[in-house]
Every structure is written in C-alpha cells, then in structure tokens.
C-alpha cells in the first residue's frame, strides 16, 4: 500500500551531541510528530539519523535538530540529505540504533571466539 505525502531524509548533527541524551530527546520529538526512522551515535562524535513522514512534521523535526536538541547539547551544525518523496514508509516507528562505540554484551558478541559454527 502506497503512503501519500511521505518524504524522507538523512541527517547528521555536529557539536556536543553524544553523552547528553540527544538521541533520547530526538526519539521523543520524532514520536510526538509521528515520524519514523532512526538515530544513532557515530564513531565521529556526531549523531546520525534518518527520518520519514509528512513534509510539515519533517520540517518541525529539522528545526528542532538545528536549534533545540537535548538540554545539555551544544549543536554546531546539522547536515541534511536532499528530502525525497517515497512510495511507502520504510519503518514502523522511530528508534535508537545501538551505539557502535560500545562493545556488545558478552552474550551478544558477534563472531565470538567460542563459536564453532561459521555457516550462517
């Protein structure tokens, strides 16, 4: 089923945005606006993400990313990819992806040395 008026774009937020609950606040804002997609910490000290939804709500989120963020954040700049129209939603909600800068818990480690089954 095609969704009418669905647009998407990627973003990257620069500044003091890690370790200040930026992703959690972005999650709340996106859910309040009915947006879908994700955000995550990057290895470069930024927060990256992808949003999809109606253009009006996306514009509100973009402004929030540029000017508000979390209370302890200090946003230097935000880069957005070109906003594109989509045939349908690609996500069912907005979520935070795991932080690639932190190791997975021991029982979730990928390619653990105790693994003997190499065929996936």
Active-site positions? 23, 41
Residues β-bridged to residue 16: 74
Query: What totals of helices (H) and strands (E) does the chain contain, helices first?
Result: 2, 6
- The DSSP symbol for 23 reads H
Contacts of 102 (CB under 8 A, 6+ apart): none
């Amino acid at each position: 089923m095609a969704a009418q008026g669905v647009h998407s774009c990627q973003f990257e937020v620069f500044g003091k945005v890690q370790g200040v609950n930026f992703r959690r606040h972005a999650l709340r804002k996106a859910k309040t606006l009915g947006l879908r997609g994700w955000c995550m910490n990057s290895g470069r000290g930024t927060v990256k993400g992808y949003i999809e939804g109606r253009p009006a709500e996306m514009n509100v989120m973009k402004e929030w990313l540029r000017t508000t963020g979390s209370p302890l954040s200090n946003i230097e700049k935000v880069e957005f990819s070109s906003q594109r129209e989509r045939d349908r939603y690609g996500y069912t909600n907005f979520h935070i992806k795991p932080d690639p800068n932190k190791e997975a818990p021991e029982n979730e480690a990928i390619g653990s040395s105790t693994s003997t089954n190499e065929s996936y």
